[in-house]
Structures are given as C-alpha cells and as structure tokens.
C-alpha cells in the first residue's frame, strides 16, 4: 500500500573521500578520510605555480577523487523509487550504486537526479560512489573548484509521484485586487500496468501566516494536472517587499494523498519594452546589476546556504537590485536568498557552446548535453520569482555570423521558451576578439561614424541576436546610442561593464530607455582569473597576474565581503552616498606610470596611516555627491575643489603627508552637508573580533563570518598592519576558512593562521550540528588575545 512521500533527506554528512592514484596531486595521500558536504577539494590543496589551470584557475590544482557514502535503505522502503539528487558536482561525475554504473554527468554546474532503485539492497547497507574528474585542465576561465560542492539529497518516492521539478507556477494576471496563479503539475507513473486515471492533484496556496487563500483540484490529463487559483488582495513580490506565498501540491489517489511538494511563490509581473524599458509589477526601473561567479570566496566553491545568502545581503546593502549568475546556473540556496531578500536575477546557462575557450571546457560535451542542461536549469529554477531573464550564454564564439552559431542561438532560445515562455531570453555579446583570421574585423566593433561606413559587428551578430528578447552588451558602451537607431526593435542590457567606467555606463543607461540595466564585472570578487583587475607599473602589460596572484581583484566587494573603494564611488553614481569617501592614493606608487586594467581601480586606500612617508607628496581623491569638497589636514584647509555629478563625483588634492587628522567636508549650495574624517592610527594595541551574527542555527552547516581587525588604543583599524593572526574555534563549531582581500597572498584559505591585509582579515566558523556555544579566539604577537562567543541554537533562524 502506497504512502505519502517523505521529505527529501539531505545526505551531506558522513562521506568518505580520497584522491585516486591517477588523480593524486603532489603531497596528497589517497587514503580515505571523512568529509562532509559541500566539499571543494581544490581549495584544500596547496597552490602550485605550475598548475595546469594557471592564473585562470588561481593556480589551484584539480585532480580525480572518489566520494563514498554508506546509506541504510530499510525494508519498508521497498516498492518506492529511491532517487538521489546532486545539486552540483564539478566535474565529469560518474555515479555508481553498489558498484553498478548509474549515470555520467559532465557539466559541473547543473543539478541532476539518479534513480538508484534497480541497484538498491532493501533492508541493508548500500554504497553510493561518486567519482569526480577535474584533472583535464585548463577547462575554465575562472576558479571552478572540484568535487561535490553543493548539496546531495535522497528522495523516497511512491511509484506514482509528482515528477522531480514537475511543478510549474505562473502568474498570468497580477493585481493587488485579484491575481491569478496557474499551476501545472506533471506526474510520473512507474507502476507495472498501473493507471493514473484515478489520481488527482490538489493545489493549495497559503500566505506567509500559513492561512489558505486559494485551492483548486483537478484530474490528470496525459499525466498532467492543471490548477487555476484566484487570489484576492494579493500581496505582490517586489525588491522592496519580497513577499512569498507557499504552494502545497498533493497527489491524491482515491482521495488519499500519496505525494506532496511545497513551492514558494511570488506573485509578480515582469515586462520588457523598447520604450518603457523593464517593469516589475507595472513600475519601471533600471537594473542596478552585478555579475557574480559561483565561488564563495574563502570557502572556494563550497556552496553553504549561509554563504550564498550573505552574498545577496552584501549586494542589497551596496545598492544592487539585480545579479547575473556568470556564467552558469547557481545553487538553489542562492536563488532562494534572491527570492527571500528581493534581488532580480539573470540565470545563465553556459560560457561556451561548440567552440571552446579552453581545450577541456564544456565545448567537448555541449553537442550531446546542451538540451539536458538547459532543461535542468529552467525546470529547476522556473518557479523563482526573482528570475527575470534566462541567458543562453556568454560571449559565445559562434556569435560572429560566420558559422551556424545563429542556428544554435535559435535552438537554445526555442528550447527555453518551450519550457518557460514567461521570461525574457538574453545572451551576452562582446567584440570579435577570438578569431585571428578575422582580417581586422575585431577592430571594427566600434559603431560606424559616418554615412556609408560598414558596420561589421552589427552585420555579423544580427542573426545571432534575432531570437533574443534582450541583447546583452559586454563592454560595448560606444554602441549603445547608434545601435538604438540601427536596430529599432532591440532592447539592450549592459551585461558586463568596466568598474572604472561606471559613470559613463550609468549615464547612458539612465538616458536611453531601451537600455534596461548595467551589470558590473564584478559585484563580488572571486578566485581565479587572477589579477584581471590589477594596476601594472614599470611597463608591465600582462593580462593576468603571475603566481602568487589568486584573486581577480575586480569586485566592488572583496572576497571577504568588505566594500572596496570602487563600491563607494558607485554609491555616488547611484545616489545613495551620504558622506564623502576619502580614497588616498598609495604613496608607494607616487610618480610611477601606472596602468589601471580595464577591470581595475586605482590603488587607493581609505587610510591616513602611512609610516615612513612623512614629508613626501601624496594624492587624495574624494568621492562625493556634494557640489564642493574641502579637505582639511590637521586643522589647516587644503582648499576646496568642485565635485558632484558635473565633476564625475571626484575631487583630487595633492599635499605633503603628515600624520594626524584628515577631514573631507562636503558642501552643496554653499552649506556644509556632510563630512568624513580619517585619523592616523597608533600602534596595534588589540585584536577585534566581530561576528556577523550572534545566534546561529545549530543544524550542521550554518556559518558565522568573523571580521578580524588589528586596532589601536582608540579602536581605529591600523590599515598599515600586516601582522599574522592565529584563529581558533571551540565548542559547537569548527573553523573552516581564513583569508583576506590581498589578491597576491601566498597563504592558504584553510588552516588557523592568516596575515591581515589593510589591517583586516576574515574567519569562517561552521556549526557542527549540536546546540551550544562557540568560542572564537584570536592571537597576535604583542597584544592580548581576543575572544568572542556566539550561540548555536536549535530552531534559530538565520
């Protein structure tokens, strides 16, 4: 007799791990060790200047490894489907159950299911084995990580059940007076000779308080149930009020529920229009966007839920309202956080199609697997109200019109629309930089400047762009205005833009109605593509950095979560800055001919602590929305300079460095509006530990991010300090990562010690699964130890 399905069980704990003989890296043992998921076996290895992935992968090795999990399958589960769900395995995952081959999944970023039923021993122990092969490097243009880096879940399903990812929710009518929610539920039937004719689907929508607001029940037609729910006085989902309902879907046989699912639902409308731009619930807005990679900074690619949620919190705090998941589908936790916190999303599928950018990248699997991976992205993610666009790719080489790439552009777009016709489809185009036989065409990405001048880029990419609802422009600001005339139906979104050109990009985005948004590369810094945001001196011109560079160094927010100077400048451009920001040009480089990468920012620090530079010239930039800025050093005015929008929000001063107090005062209409003060710090007197939260969930895997600062006797951060700090955690948690924002540090992200960078570092502590206190301690030579305590509590909310 069939019974209602159990909730999916997360099986992240209690795995065994080892490197294989042929995948063993230097100094690594291939003995079995115990690990819990999520797990990244690249971040735990020593970086190697000779690593095959090179600077693109941050000089981290890959390898081949086994993950093994013993699973007890009780006898009473017989007659059910035993299905395991992998959210993400990088890469080339081979799954076996009790030594039997089950599935091979090459793509490292899409989720997949494995039906284990035919190989299960009911009433006994079973062995699930996953082999991960990330040995063929280079295969990525950024840090990929290696291993089972997202959650794994076990599903126990009746033979007749709601299909995995089988629920689709749309909101065809959206109004606060009355909205319509339509639900399609797909059912799978594995019974021998069974018939689902007696089965029905019940759909009930509950509000945040758990009260039912609408119910519908329907028969199955060709294995599909359809419900139409009318919601009065609907509370709409928006970025400022991300209200979520809960849909309860039940599969009924003879009136008895045998399977059940819950889906969060946001009632909202989206539209894209050439003249009106993007609208959410009928309200126009520009997308203040940022690109993010999948890694979690110090944690490598290990996708802990709290780490994903924190990314969105940091972006919201910095004024972002949209994010692009470059260049692959993200974790479910990431999208859940976007739904819950109110962040719009471009969900992206691929960085390449058939023509690869690295010898061993996804291009080798694209032809055979693109359809299944598109399906996995759309079917898994389609119910997230935060998602407004699907992206079929980034800077696809076949975009140039000299191959049949335009046919694949339509194939992918059509496939997405067949699964979800409610969202816009985009693809990010850039210049024609990869074809050495282009006969100079790459230089002609510029828009024509005169009548009769040929537009090579526009001609070559036009057919590729035809099936797109929104055409993504990467670093093509100079084409915005002209293409608005050449392509009168085209809607443009700046899907990658240079940080240092934010003023110009945002001015054009606000002025042109058909340009719906701007996505900086990047919003949060990431591992790999090391040194792309560098400032080179003394004539150095390399694209990426040499070892020990490991961070891209281009994010508005660094890998610890600290805002970088460019983020404070963006605050001025976006109109959210409330006080001047003092950006002191590093005097170590005074007078040198520095070249700022297109993805970079000048070497500036908001600090007035420069020992050894007394009496030397120093340059200070002040970012301010005020009309004028006055700079005062030790009580003496250094004069006023114009700032504000007319002067690109920057006033620059040059003076002689002297320790003391530096004050920037902002004036508008001749009246002081705001001021910011920097003070020369004294010697390091203490360690300050600041946890991001004092109360954690005791369940395994919650995280506490602890800011580590070296401060003087007055509590000011000593930005010139680079001392080593030793961190420990005891009690109900474990220290799992340490790091700082120094892109060239040669220290490991695992361990118990790290030097501070600009006076700061970060430690990450994970709950172990039991309630209790966690004591975090910091030790540094010459000062007293610091201790802070947080609590892991059962039932606590993050």
* Per-residue pLDDT at 295: 98
The dihedrals phi and psi of 333, each to the nearest 5 degrees, come to: -60, -35
Helices and strands (H and E) in the chain: how many? 8, 49
Q: What is the mean pLDDT of the chain?
A: 94
Phi, psi of 78 (to 5 degrees): -60, 145
Of the candidates 774, 770, 754, which has an alpha carbon nearest to the alpha carbon of residue 707? 754
pLDDT at residue number 541: 74
* Residue 412 pLDDT grade (very low, low, confident, very high; cuts 50, 70, 90): very high
> In sequence order, what are the residues at sequence separation of 6 or more whose Cβ sits closer than 8 angstroms to the Cβ of residue 287?
278, 321, 322, 344, 493, 516, 517, 518, 519
CB 215 within 8 A of CB 204: yes
The conformation of residue 237, written as its DSSP 8-state character, comes to B
Q: Which two tokens stand for residue 662?
A: 């530096």
> Measured between alpha carbons, how far is 229 from 221 in angstroms, rounded to an integer?
18
CA distance 79 to 86: 23
725 dihedral zone (left: phi>0; alpha: psi -120 to 50; beta): beta
Query: In the β-sheet with 724-731, what is the strand arrangement from edge to edge?
Result: 695-697, 786-793, 772-779, 724-731, 753-755
Listed residue (326, 347, 330) closest to 423, CA to CA: 347
User: Can you name the residues that pair with 791 across neighbouring β-strands?
Assistant: 695, 773
Q: Is the Cβ–Cβ distance between 114 and 82 less than 8 Å?
A: no
User: Which two structure tokens, joined as six digits, stand for 192?
Assistant: 């021998």
Please list, residue by residue across 462-480, b when 16 or more beta carbons sit within 10 angstroms of its beta carbon and e when fewer do.
bbbbebbebbbbbbbbebb
Contact 65, 87 (CB under 8 A): no
- The pLDDT assigned to 556 comes to 98
φ, ψ (nearest 5 deg) of residue 551? -105, 150
Per mean pLDDT, which range of 311-325, 529-543, 750-764 is the poorest? 529-543
Q: What is the mean pLDDT of residues 712-730?
A: 97
User: Is 156 within 8 Å of 6 (Cβ atoms)?
Assistant: yes
Report pLDDT digits (tens) over 26-48.
456 679 999 999 999 999 999 99
Considering all CA atoms of the chain, what is the largest pairwise distance in Å, rounded to the nearest integer? 91
- 555-601 pLDDT, tens digit per residue, is 999 999 999 999 999 999 999 999 999 999 999 999 998 899 999 99
User: CA–CA distance from 500 to each of 208, 284, 714 (Å)?
Assistant: 42, 27, 34
In the structure, what pLDDT confidence band is assigned to residue 21 with cuts at 50, 70 and 90?
Answer: low
Average pLDDT over residues 714-732: 97
Please count the residues of the chain.
798
Res 434: pLDDT: 47
Please determine, for residue 666, whether its predicted confidence score (pLDDT) is greater than 60.
yes
Query: Is residue 401 very low, low, confident or very high in pLDDT (cuts 50, 70, 90)?
Result: confident
467: CB partners within 8 A, 6+ apart: 409, 410, 413, 414, 425
Cα 557–Cα 350–Cα 285 angle in degrees, nearest 5: 55
Distance CA 685, CA 682 (A): 8
Cβ 503 vs Cβ 537: under 8 Å: no
Two structure tokens written together for 72: 């007890």
Q: Give the C-alpha separation, 774 to 772, whole Å.
A: 7
Distance between CA atoms of residues 37 and 18, nearest Å = 14
Contacts of 648 (CB under 8 A, 6+ apart): 503
Answer yes or no: are the C-beta atoms of 63 and 136 closer than 8 Å: no
Token pair 């769900």 in the structure block, residue: 85
| Model pLDDT, residue 671 | 97
Dihedral of the alpha carbons of 698, 318, 284, 519, in degrees to the nearest 10: -100
331: left (phi over 0), alpha (psi -120 to 50) or beta: beta
Tokens coding 193: 């000779």
Backbone angles phi, psi at 756, to 5 degrees: -80, 155
More confident residue, 4 or 172: 172
User: CA–CA separation, 330 vs 386, rounded Å?
Assistant: 13
Q: Would you state the structure tokens that stand for residue 289, as one six-digit string?
A: 């966007």
Contacts of 691 (CB under 8 A, 6+ apart): 704, 705, 706, 707, 776, 788, 790
Give the closest residue to 394 by CA, choosing from 522, 509, 488.
Answer: 522
C-alpha to C-alpha distance for 146 and 321, rounded to whole angstroms? 30
Decide if pLDDT at 16 tops 50: yes
Q: Decide: 187 and 225 in contact? Cβ < 8 Å.
A: yes
- pLDDT for the residue numbered 191: 87
Q: Report yes or no: 246 and 206 within 8 Å, Cβ to Cβ.
A: yes
Kindly state the average pLDDT of the residues 612-623: 98
Burial class (CB in 10 A: 0-12, 13-18, 19+), 523: buried
- Take residue 157 and report the two structure tokens written for it: 């399903």
Judge whether 365 and 396 are in contact, CB under 8 Å: no
Count of alpha carbons within 13 angstroms of residue 753, beta-carbon side: 9
Cα–Cα distance for residue pair 292/519, rounded to 1 Å: 10
**DSSP per position, 17-78:** EEE-TTTPPTT---S-EEE-SS--TTTTSPP-TT-TTGGGGTT---EEEEEEEEEEE-GGGT
Q: What is the pLDDT of residue 3?
A: 53
Band the pLDDT of 193: cuts 50, 70, 90.
low
Residue 724 contacts residue 780 (beta carbons within 8 Å): yes
Residue-level pLDDT at 442: 44
627 three-state secondary structure: coil
Residue with tokens 């069980």: 9
Residue labelled with tokens 């160094």 = 553
Tell me: pLDDT of 1 over 90. Answer: no
With a cut of 60, say whether residue 195 has pLDDT above it: no
239 pLDDT exceeds 60? yes
453 pLDDT more than 80: no
For residue 134, what are the β-bridge partners?
Answer: 63
The single-letter DSSP state of residue 782 is: T
Alpha carbons 437 and 443: distance in angstroms, whole number: 12
pLDDT band at 439 (very low <50, low <70, confident <90, very high): very low
- Give the model's confidence band at 451: pLDDT under 50 very low, under 70 low, under 90 confident, else very high: low
Element of type H or E holding 188: strand 178-189
Report whether pLDDT(423) > 50.
yes
First to last CA, the chain: 39
Q: Please give the sequence-ordered ranges of beta strands (E in DSSP) within 266-335, or none if there are none.
A: 270-273, 277-280, 283-284, 287-292, 322-325
Residue 435 has pLDDT above 50, yes or no: no
């Amino acid at each position: 007799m069939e019974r209602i399905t159990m909730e999916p069980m997360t099986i992240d704990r209690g795995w065994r791990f080892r490197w294989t003989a042929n995948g063993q890296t230097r100094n690594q043992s291939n003995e079995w060790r115990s690990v819990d998921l999520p797990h990244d076996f690249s971040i735990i290895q020593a970086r190697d200047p000779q690593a095959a992935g090179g600077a693109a992968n941050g000089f981290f090795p890959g390898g081949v490894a086994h993950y093994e999990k013993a699973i007890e399958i009780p006898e009473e589960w017989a007659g059910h489907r035993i299905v395991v769900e992998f959210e993400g395995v990088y890469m080339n995952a081979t799954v076996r159950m009790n030594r039997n081959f089950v599935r091979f999944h090459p793509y490292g970023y899409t989720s997949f299911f494995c039906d284990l039923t035919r190989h299960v021993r009911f009433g006994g122990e079973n062995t699930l084995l996953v082999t991960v092969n990330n040995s063929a490097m280079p295969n990525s243009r950024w840090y990929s990580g290696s291993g089972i880096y997202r959650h794994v879940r076990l599903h126990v399903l009746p033979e007749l059940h709601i299909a995995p990812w089988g629920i689709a929710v749309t909101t065809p009518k959206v109004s606060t007076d009355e909205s319509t929610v339509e639900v399609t539920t797909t059912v799978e039937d594995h019974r021998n000779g069974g018939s689902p004719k007696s089965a029905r689907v019940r759909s009930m929508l509950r509000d945040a308080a758990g009260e039912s607001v609408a119910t519908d029940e329907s028969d199955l037609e060709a294995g599909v149930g359809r419900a139409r729910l009318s919601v009065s006085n609907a509370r709409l989902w928006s970025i400022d009020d991300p209200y979520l309902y809960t849909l309860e879907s039940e599969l009924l046989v003879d009136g008895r529920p045998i399977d059940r699912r819950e889906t969060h639902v946001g009632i909202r409308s989206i539209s894209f229009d050439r003249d009106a731009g993007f609208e959410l619930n009928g309200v126009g807005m520009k997308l203040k966007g940022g690109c993010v990679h999948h890694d979690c900074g110090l944690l490598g690619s290990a996708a802990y839920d709290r780490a994903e949620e924190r990314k969105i919190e940091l972006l919201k705090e910095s004024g972002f309202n949209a994010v692009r998941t470059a260049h692959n589908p993200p974790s479910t936790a990431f999208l859940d956080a976007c739904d819950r916190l109110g962040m719009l999303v471009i969900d992206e599928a691929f960085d390449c199609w058939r023509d690869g950018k690295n010898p061993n990248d996804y291009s080798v699997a694209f032809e055979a697997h693109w359809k299944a991976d598109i399906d996995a992205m759309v079917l898994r993610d389609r119910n997230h109200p935060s998602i407004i666009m699907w992206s079929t790719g980034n800077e696809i080489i076949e975009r140039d019109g000299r191959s049949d790439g335009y046919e694949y552009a339509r194939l992918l777009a059509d496939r997405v629309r067949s699964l979800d016709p409610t969202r816009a489809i985009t693809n990010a185009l850039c210049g024609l930089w990869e074809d050495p036989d282009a006969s100079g065409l790459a230089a002609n990405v510029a828009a024509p400047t005169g009548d009769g001048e040929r537009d090579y880029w526009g001609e070559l990419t036009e057919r590729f762009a035809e099936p797109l609802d929104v055409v993504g422009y990467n670093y093509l600001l100079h084409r915005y205005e002209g293409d608005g005339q050449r392509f009168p139906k085209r809607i443009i979104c700046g899907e990658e833009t240079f940080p240092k050109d934010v003023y110009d990009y945002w001015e054009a985005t606000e002025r042109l109605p058909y340009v719906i948004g701007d996505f900086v590369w990047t919003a949060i810094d990431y591992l790999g593509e090391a040194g792309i945001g560098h400032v080179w001196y003394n004539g150095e011109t390399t694209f990426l950095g040499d070892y020990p560079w490991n961070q891209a160094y281009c994010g508005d927010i660094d890998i610890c979560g600290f805002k970088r100077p460019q983020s404070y400048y963006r605050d001025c451009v976006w109109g959210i800055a409330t006080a001047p920001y003092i950006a002191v040009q590093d005097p170590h480089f005074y007078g040198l001919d520095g070249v700022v990468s297109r993805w970079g920012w000048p070497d500036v620090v908001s600090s007035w602590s420069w020992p050894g530079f007394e009496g030397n010239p120093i340059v200070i930039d002040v970012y301010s929305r005020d009309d004028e800025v006055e700079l005062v050093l030790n009580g003496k005015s250094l004069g006023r300079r114009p700032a504000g929008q007319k002067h690109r929000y920057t006033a620059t001063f040059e003076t002689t460095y002297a320790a003391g107090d530096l004050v920037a005062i902002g004036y508008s209409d001749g009246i002081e509006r705001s001021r910011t003060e920097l003070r020369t710090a004294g010697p390091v007197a203490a360690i300050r530990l600041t946890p991001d939260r004092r109360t954690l969930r005791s369940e395994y895997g919650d995280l506490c991010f602890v800011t580590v600062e070296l401060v003087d006797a007055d509590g000011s951060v000593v930005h010139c300090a680079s001392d080593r700090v030793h961190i420990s955690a005891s009690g109900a948690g474990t220290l799992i990562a340490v790091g700082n924002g120094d892109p060239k540090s040669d220290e490991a992200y695992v361990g118990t010690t790290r030097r501070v960078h600009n006076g700061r570092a970060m430690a990450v502590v994970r709950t172990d699964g039991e309630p209790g206190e966690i004591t975090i301690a910091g030790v540094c030579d010459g000062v007293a130890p610091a201790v802070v305590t947080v609590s892991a509590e059962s039932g606590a909310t993050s």
